[in-house]
Amino acid sequence: MKNEFVLAFNEVLEEKQLPKQVILQALEAAMVSAYRRAVNASNAQHVEAKLIRRRVKSSFLAEKEIRGLSAG
């Protein structure tokens, strides 16, 4: 899968003549949008996706609020 992703990524770079960073940011935004739809996350929830270029690795960060905890 890594090679397929890299090939597709490079194809988009050549076809659209855009800087790598622009395409990476678009992919990250798309991943956040897909995550929000999948888990029905509100727009108030902080969600972040990062693609690590050298390792073709991705990570997600999602802020969670825990309610109902009381001291004592």
Q: Would residue 72 count as lying in a domain?
A: no
Give Rg (Cα) of the chain. 16
Q: What is the CB-side half-sphere exposure of residue 51 using CA atoms within 13 A?
A: 19
Q: Provide the token pair at 30.
A: 């798309």
User: Which is higher by pLDDT, 67 or 11?
Assistant: 11
Q: Would residue 13 count as lying in a domain?
A: yes
User: 9-59 pLDDT, tens per residue?
Assistant: 888 889 989 888 888 889 889 988 998 888 888 888 888 888 776 655 555
The total domain count for the chain is 1
Q: Would residue 47 count as lying in a domain?
A: yes
Q: Would residue 70 count as lying in a domain?
A: no
Residue 15: the pLDDT is 92
User: 46-65 pLDDT, tens per residue?
Assistant: 888 887 766 555 556 666 65
Enclosing domain of residue 17: 2-62
Q: Would residue 35 count as lying in a domain?
A: yes
- Per DSSP, the three-state class of 43 is coil
Q: Are 47 and 62 in contact (CB under 8 A)?
A: yes
Q: Provide the token pair at 16.
A: 């659209």
Q: Would residue 71 count as lying in a domain?
A: no
Q: Would residue 67 count as lying in a domain?
A: no
Does 7 score more than 60 pLDDT? yes
Q: Provide the token pair at 25.
A: 């940011």
